[in-house]
Amino acid sequence: MSDSSTLHVLTVVGARPQFVKAAVLSRAFASANRGAGRELVRESLLHTGQHWDHGMSGVFFEEMAIPEPCANLGVGGGTHGAMTGRMLEAIETELLARRPDLVLVYGDTNSTLAGALAAAKLHLPVAHVEAGLRSFNRRMPEEINRVLVDHLATWLFCPSPASAAQLGREGIVDGVEVSGDVMVDAQLFYRSRAVRPVRTEPFALATLHRAENTDDPQRLRAIVAALAGGPLRVVLPVHPRTRAAFDRVGLGALGRLELVEPLSYLEMLGHLDAARFVVTDSGGLQKEAYVFGKRCVTLRDETEWTELVDAGANRLVGADPDRIRAGLRWADAPLWAIAPIYGDGHAGERIVSRLLAAGRAAR
C-alpha cells in the first residue's frame, strides 16, 4: 500500500453487467468518504472497451451516474486470446502509470482476467467481487476466467455461502468473505426508477448470447423454434453477437419471438418487473429473476447459480426443444417463496468496509 492516507482503488470493467456492479461500489466508496468527512478512498475506473457501443456501454454510465472512466482502452472484438492479451498489455501500462493500492475486478469476463493478471504480475493485491462461482464446464471461457481470477485474488467476495464453500474445497480460505451479491444492491436501489414497457399482452423476457448457443446453428435453430412456438410472446433484446448469428443462420418466421434492440439497465429492470417469467443463457439474469420473484428457464446444461436450481426457482433445459417447451409451461406460475439467498442489499457497504480495513492494516 502507498503511504498516503487515501486508499487508491483501480476498478477494471468492460462488459455491461460489470457497469451495474461498479455503480454499487462507486456509490459505496462515495458514501464512505461523505461519512468520514474526507477522502478515505479514491477510485479510478478503467474501461477496457469489451462492450463498446452506446447501447451496450455508454447508456449505462449515463443513467446509473457511474464516474467517467479515467481511460477507455478500446479493446473490443477478436478471439478470446487476442482480446485478453491486448487488454493485459494496456492495463499493465495504466497500472504502472497510476500506481493504485489495489485492483478491483468483477465477475468472469476477459476484462476480469486481464485486470487480475496484470495486477498480480505487478504484485498488486486483487479484490474479486463475485468469487467462488463454478459451472464446472471448462468449455466456457467464463469458467476458465473465474477459476484463474479466484486463485490470483487477495480478497474474494462471495455472493452466497455456497460460493464460499466452493473456494474452501479448492483450498482457498484466506481473504474469503460472504458479502452478499452487489446485483441485489443494484436492483433494490434502482427498482423504483425502472422504465416499464408499454405493453398490455403478457410476455416473457429472454436473453440469448452465449457462444455455445449462438455459434452452433443447430442449437440456435432449436432454441428459436421452441421460443417462437411457446405459449406467450417472448421479448428478446438482441446482443450484437446474437444479431450477427441470426443473420448468419438465416432464420425465417419468428412466431411469438419478438426481437428488440438492446435495453438500458433501467429498461431491463422494467421489463423484468413486468414479465411473467425469464428465459436466458445469461448468468446474472437468472439471479435477477429470483430477486424479482420470477421463475427462470435457463438455456444451458449447467449453471454457476446452483442455489436457484436447488430452490426450485430455476430449471436447466439446454437447447432441447421439448425441454424448453416444458420449461415455458412450468415457468408461467408465481414464485411464492423468496428467501434472501444472495444477501440483504448491503453487499457494497460490506466490501468497501473490508477493503478500507485492509488498507489501514497494510499501512
Look up residue 138 and give its three cell numbers.
Answer: 471448462
For the packed helices 347-362 and 16-36, what is the interaxial angle rounded to 10 degrees? 60
Look up residue 342 and give its three cell numbers.
Answer: 444472495
SS3 109: coil
Sign of the CA dihedral 166, 172, 177, 183?
Answer: negative
Question: For this structure, is 209 an active site residue?
Answer: yes
Look up residue 191 and give its three cell numbers.
Answer: 427498482
Taking the C-alpha atoms of residue 125 and residue 181, their distance in angstroms, rounded to an integer, is 21
Q: Fill in the amino acid letter for 25.
A: L
Catalytic residue among 123, 209, 239, 346: 209
> Do 207 and 289 form a contact (C-beta atoms < 8 A)?
no
Catalytic positions: 209
